[in-house]
Amino acid sequence: AMARRFFVGGNWKMNGNKESLEQLITILNTASLDDQTEVVCAAPSIYLDFARSLLDPGIGVSAQNCYKVAKGAFTGEISPAMIKDCGADWVILGHSERRHVFGESDELIGQKVAHALESDLGVIACIGEKLEEREAGTTEEVVYAQTQVIAENVTDWGKVVLAYEPVWAIGTGKTATPEQAQEVHEKLRAWFRANVSDDVAESLRIIYGGSVTGANCRELASQGDVDGFLVGGASLKPEFVDIINARA
């Protein structure tokens, strides 16, 4: 099996200002970070340039969303071309807040994935079930369907990280147990083996998101199919350093 490089993304969501983000960036720039881990910070779009100019070059910068075309009459939207022009290399697509708060469909998310990849932007593609779906026993069905739409829009999997984020665990303080996370990640890898290829199944980073903290990150990181994290609230705190170093 090929070694998958551990990947830790910090999703700042709609948080921070120049003063607080500069303090956070100073902590990250001066901390001792595991060089085996790929680190990416997803800044609000209005701070992409600011974050990229201050963060150590070894830390990647991501947008939190983008549109499906390069330019045009789409008031309030940003494109992969603009994200790249600000020096950022990644975009988060299909986050549950985009799906459930802003009503983005699987189809739209798929189109965004295709355009971002065509624009040579890395994609952190998010999937995950809601509490009622888990309780109804349809977790697999839901995440396979979401993954299918993403897969239909990917040609080069080398630029994709898949983030499994059970919606019931995001910002709720409820974390999937390491066993629950591992179970879904393992099933997702099997899905890729069956529907894409053995090579992609082996090489694709499948990361976990949902109330990851300094306290629970090591146990989660020890699971064989958990290749990193997408961190929300804790990515704005000094403990983000501990999460980056979860495998150190």
Does 225 map to a domain? yes
The answer as to whether 106 is a domain residue is: yes
Is residue 95 annotated as a catalytic residue, yes or no? yes
23 DSSP 8-state letter: H
pLDDT of residue 174: 84
Q: What is the pLDDT of residue 173?
A: 84
Specify the CATH number for the domain of residue 140: 3.20.20.70
pLDDT at position 203: 98
- Residue 65 in domain: yes
Could you report how far apart the first and last alpha carbons of the chain are, in Å? 20
Instruction: Decide if 52 is inside a domain.
Output: yes
Q: Is 15 strand, coil or helix?
A: coil
Query: Can you list the alpha helix ranges (DSSP code H) found in 78-216?
Result: 80-85, 96-100, 106-118, 131-135, 139-151, 178-195, 198-203
Q: Which helix (H) or strand (E) segment is 165 a member of?
A: none
Residue 1 lies in a domain: no
* Count of domains observed in the chain: 1
The overall average pLDDT reported for the chain is 97
Looking at 95, 104, 133, 185, which residue is catalytic?
95
Active site residue 115: no
Ranges of residues in the chain whose predicted pLDDT is under 50: none
Q: How far apart are CA 210 and CA 173, in angstroms?
A: 8
List the domain range (segments joined by +) for residue 215. Answer: 6-245
Which among 38, 104, 165, 185 is annotated as catalytic?
A: 165
- pLDDT of the residue at 2: 60
Q: Which phi and psi angles does 125 have, rounded to 5°?
A: -95, 125
